[in-house]
Amino acid sequence: MSAATDDYLFERRSLLPRLRSTLSRLPGNRPLIIGMGCAGLLITFGTMVATDGPGRIGAIWFVPWVALLAAQLGPRGGASAGVGATALYVVAAEVFSDADDAAAVLLRLVVLVGVGVAAGLSSRRISSDALELQSTNALQQALLDSTVDGICLTDTAGDLMFANVPLQRYAVELGLPLSGTVAERLEAIADRTTEPVRYRERMRELGRDLAASEDEFELADSGRVFRGYTAPVARKDGTVVGRIWTLREVTADRRLERLRDAFVAAVSHELRTPLTSISGFLELLTDEEHELGPTGRKYVDMIRRGNARLRGIVEDLLLVAEIEAERLELRPEPTDLAELATATVEDALPAAAESGIELLLDVTGRLPLEADAGRLRQVLDNLVSNALKYTPDGGTVTVSARNGDGPLRVEVTDTGIGIPLDELGQLFSRFYRASNATRRAIPGTGLGLVIARAIVEGHGGTISLTSTEDEGTRVTVTLPKPAVSGAG
């Protein structure tokens, strides 16, 4: 990215940080370092001569320069620097007739050459490790820059430490300010979003709280939609050292969802009118059904079943639209869950018998709760209908309801075709149907579980599903018990 993008992410450095940055680049200038090492040897030699010989300045003063040259030239170069330093020391000593004996000179030679070799080997190892680290960092940087998401890392205070190319691009396009924490920079564009107050408050919460979170916002001027995610970064011991932020544009996904919702709503409303007409004519035909022959009555029954199925699909589509718009209304009242389960099973017995499936009920005693009886009955009807639909002839479907120590529990278990393990996580998505169901051409819309989950969660309960392909499925619904008022 260009320097302009960096300005959007990293605050302009003051003079002192710039100076530090410049100095940090000096070790990479090899000719300059070698020149400094040679100059250091010569300066040390000159100082020896100027101060009446090596008596005042010993050979130890050559060690830093030998090590510096060894770091650039390697073990051989370090050894040569050690030899050269020893020679300079001997020359300085000869100038003032202060020469050491051969053993002392040899000792100094060994020390200086040893320093040069050791420094050269250490430098080579450090350079190798540095190159490996640089290669790893470059690979990680390339990997992060190749992702769809914008990613950045901050410290615990929210100050930016790293940002990949996609995030830098988003920063430029969104016009984020040049300084501040990430949360403060994001908050600066609050007035450009469709919900400025909520967005601003959310960004302030993110600035105070390091907990993981996921949010979505839309720009009012362009209609672009972004989804952000943030989570703390911790070491293995649990110490939080920073925070990761990701940003992804989901504009296309949201537009597609809106088009799909608009299409579903339009189709649902358009289907209601002809279905109402068909229902009216079916009622008229029912009054005269005795005048129809066997074939005519058979056709009327087929029309009645098809009309009921279409009406159910339309109602499901409209209900899903209400759920997505968060307009689902529930009217809780004292209800007996056991009665609802019993009624569901009794109504489904004819369909079970027609399919050759044994439908069992396992309920004991009353199971009182506060709930919308109509909606809760809809959940049970959906679950039992699904179980019968996906259970072949000769199978068993069991509906059980219990009042244990925890919440009320309802289970619908079947011995049907089951669901592939890798598809279990998608079953509560709109319009999704298991692959084995579509292969067998089993009719359905993929909305039953979506509706059931929304109704159950609206009651403060949970719904879960476990399944094994070709063995069966179990759906478990838990509902909170009514609060027991204590004595005054």
* pLDDT per residue as tens digits for the range 316-374: 777 777 777 677 888 999 999 999 999 999 999 999 999 999 999 998 888 899 999 99
Task: Check: CB of residue 138 under 8 Å from CB of residue 162.
Answer: no
Q: For residues 177 and 425, what is the distance between their CA atoms, to the nearest angstrom?
A: 40
Boundaries of CATH 3.30.450.20 in the chain?
150-249
- Tally DSSP H helices, then E strands, for the chain: 14, 12
Rounded to 10°, the helix 373-389/448-458 angle is: 150
Question: SS3 for 109?
Answer: helix
CB half-sphere exposure, 91, CA atoms < 13 A? 13
CA distance 444 to 416: 16
Distance from C-alpha of 479 to C-alpha of 368, rounded to nearest angstrom: 11
Q: Where in the chain is the domain with CATH 3.30.565.10?
A: 333-479
Q: Contact 430/445 with Cβ under 8 angstroms?
A: no
Sign (positive or negative) of CA dihedral 268, 271, 277, 283: negative
**Contact between residue 401 and residue 365 where contact means Cβ atoms under 8 Å apart:** no
* C-alpha span between 179 and 205 (Å, rounded): 19
Phi then psi for residue 178, to 5 deg, are -85, -15
Q: What is the pLDDT of residues 91-124, one digit of tens each?
A: 777 766 555 667 777 877 787 788 878 877 787 7
Is 82 within 8 Å of 107 (Cβ atoms)?
Answer: no
Distance CA 465, CA 416 (A): 14
Only one residue has tokens 């972004």, namely 226
- Residue 84 pLDDT > 90, yes or no? no
Contact (Cβ atoms closer than 8 angstroms) between residue 111 and residue 64: no
Beta carbons of 396 and 360 less than 8 angstroms apart: yes
Is the predicted pLDDT of residue 19 greater than 60, yes or no? no
Angle at 71 between CA 69 and CA 72, to 5 degrees: 70
Residue with more model confidence, 139 or 127: 139
**Strand (E) positions, 123-281?**
150-154, 160-163, 213-218, 225-234, 240-249
Per-residue pLDDT at 486 exceeds 50: no
Q: Give the residue carrying structure tokens 């960004």.
A: 203
Q: What is the CATH number of domain 254-324?
A: 1.10.287
Topology of domain 150-249, CATH: Beta-Lactamase (3.30.450)
- Helix, strand, or coil (residue 370): strand
Pick the closest to residue 208 from 170, 256, 243 (CA basis): 243
- For 68, residues 6+ apart whose C-beta sits below 8 A from its C-beta are 33, 36, 37, 40
Q: Which of 46, 40, 47 is nearest to 63 (CA)?
A: 40
CATH code assigned to 333-479: 3.30.565.10
Residues 41-45, mean pLDDT to the nearest whole number: 80
Number of other CB atoms surrounding residue 308 within 10 Å: 13
Taking all residues of the chain, what is their mean pLDDT, rounded to a whole number? Answer: 81
Summarised one tens digit per residue, pLDDT across range 232-246 is: 999 888 889 999 999
E strands in 373-481: 396-403, 408-414, 462-468, 472-479
Q: Where in the chain is the domain with CATH 1.10.287?
A: 254-324
- The single-letter code of the amino acid at 216 is E
Per the listing, tokens 């990761």 go with 244
Helix (H) or strand (E) holding 481, with range, is none
The pLDDT tens digits for 175-234 are: 888 888 999 999 999 999 999 999 999 999 998 888 888 999 999 988 899 999 999 999
